[in-house]
């Protein structure tokens, strides 16, 4: 009797233990330690503008706002599965004002803010990820860290682990105040991710496929998990007066579709070559070409090099004050 009871108890304990253990184990598979419990605000860029916006559309008619939404919804599902509280600024193809998007992130006390976009330019061959953080890299290191994770994972998932990316301040394109959603959510680690260019016909074709959208969502998921798993997230400092760095006038969105914008890389290479040859007149021409490249594509993967070479020229010309400002620009906006 005693021994039968003992055996029964053993079986009962075993069943209880294995049920608890297995359910914990299966939850552990889905849940992600670093993401579990985090509030993540995902902002699918644009929306509801098919009738009014003819700029954000690919060569065969796929609209940026549709791709942004598909990726955001897939990412939201993955994050929720991992235990996060996901807040989306929109879940349908509707127009949401920019200020409203920041408000949603702030009101929900988001731990991070991810704005999902895709890019456009005049040159159909251009295709690489661009990630923006707000303000100065020195003050907003947490967002730079998040941005680096996102950039590297996007290159891994969408570009076979090869190729360049840009990680730049939003002041490189909006030199007075940066972008609205990142300005409005400043203090929360946040980025705008432009995973690829829908103006590339090849890329547009891929962006239409949900398996490809899934890969992009996977890249963000991995980047977010890795960001939260890192030992320390740097505190975000109060913003300094951005006017200490002279605004660098750049082509704005639609201007970047202009034909001279297509020469951004050629101008960079030509400028670099002239600088190497040397001579006062060549330095002046090199400076002009490098400046034009940086103006027409201020967030390209050669823009940082353009500014660095401009500094080199200014040094040779003994323009001490200009050197100071340009070096600051690189440190703050091109980490």
Binding site for Zn ion (CB under 5 A): 45, 117
Q: Is the CB of 63 or the CB of 310 nearer to Zn ion?
A: 63
Q: What is the dihedral of CA 156, 161, 164, 170, to 10 degrees?
A: 10
Query: Please, what is the minimum distance in Å from the beta carbon of residue 132 to Zn ion?
Result: 11
Q: Is the CB of 45 or the CB of 298 nearer to Zn ion?
A: 45
Closest of 295, 311, 317 to residue 248, by C-alpha: 295
Q: Is the CB of 145 or the CB of 179 nearer to Zn ion?
A: 179
How far apart are the two ends of the chain, measured CA to CA in Å?
A: 75
Give the nearest residue (CB) to Zn ion. Answer: 117
Q: Is the CB of 18 or the CB of 177 nearer to Zn ion?
A: 177
Query: Please, what is the minimum distance in Å from the beta carbon of residue 64 to Zn ion?
Result: 5
Paired tokens of 25: 């184990």
Q: Is the CB of 65 or the CB of 326 nearer to Zn ion?
A: 65
- The pair phi, psi for residue 86, each rounded to 5°, is -100, 130
CA 160/CA 332 separation, integer angstroms: 30
CA 88/CA 200 separation, integer angstroms: 28
Closest of 313, 317, 309, 320 to residue 330, by C-alpha: 309
CA 310/CA 273 separation, integer angstroms: 13
Query: Please, what is the minimum distance in Å from the beta carbon of residue 173 to Zn ion?
Result: 11
Query: Please, what is the minimum distance in Å from the beta carbon of residue 206 to Zn ion?
Result: 17
For 136, 207, 225, the CA distances from 92, given in Å and listed in that order, are 33, 18, 26
Query: Please, what is the minimum distance in Å from the beta carbon of residue 237 to Zn ion?
Result: 28
Q: Is the CB of 113 or the CB of 332 nearer to Zn ion?
A: 113
Query: Please, what is the minimum distance in Å from the beta carbon of residue 188 to Zn ion?
Result: 20
Paired tokens of 81: 């599965």
């Amino acid at each position: 009797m005693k021994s039968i009871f003992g055996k029964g108890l053993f079986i009962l304990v075993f069943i209880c233990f294995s049920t608890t253990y297995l359910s914990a184990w299966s939850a552990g598979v889905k849940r992600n330690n670093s993401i579990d419990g985090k509030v993540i605000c995902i902002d699918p860029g644009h929306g509801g503008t098919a009738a009014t916006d003819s700029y954000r559309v690919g060569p065969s008619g796929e609209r940026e706002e549709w791709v942004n939404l598909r990726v955001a919804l897939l990412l939201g599902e993955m994050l929720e599965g991992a235990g996060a509280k996901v807040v989306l600024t929109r879940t349908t193809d509707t127009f949401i004002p920019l200020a409203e998007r920041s408000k949603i992130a702030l009101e929900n006390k988001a731990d991070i803010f991810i704005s999902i976009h895709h890019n456009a330019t005049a040159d159909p061959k251009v295709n690489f990820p661009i990630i923006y953080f707000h303000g100065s890299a020195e003050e907003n290191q947490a967002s730079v860290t998040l941005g680096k994770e996102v950039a590297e994972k996007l290159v891994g998932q969408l570009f076979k682990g090869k190729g360049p990316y840009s990680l730049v301040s939003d002041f490189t394109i909006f030199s007075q105040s940066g972008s609205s959603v990142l300005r409005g959510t400043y203090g929360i680690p946040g980025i705008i991710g432009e995973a690829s260019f829908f103006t590339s016909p090849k890329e547009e074709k891929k962006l239409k496929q949900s398996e490809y959208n899934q890969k992009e969502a996977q890249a963000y998921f991995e980047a977010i998990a890795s960001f939260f798993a890192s030992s320390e997230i740097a505190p975000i400092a109060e913003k300094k007066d951005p006017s200490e760095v002279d605004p660098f006038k750049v082509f704005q969105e639609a201007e970047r579709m202009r034909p001279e914008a297509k020469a951004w890389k050629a101008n960079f290479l030509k400028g670099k070559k002239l600088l190497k040859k040397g001579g006062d007149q060549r330095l002046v021409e090199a400076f002009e070409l490098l400046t034009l490249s940086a103006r027409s594509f201020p967030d390209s993967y050669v823009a940082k090099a353009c500014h660095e070479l401009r500094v080199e020229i200014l040094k040779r010309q003994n323009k001490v004050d200009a050197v100071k400002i340009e070096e600051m620009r690189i440190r703050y906006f091109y980490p």
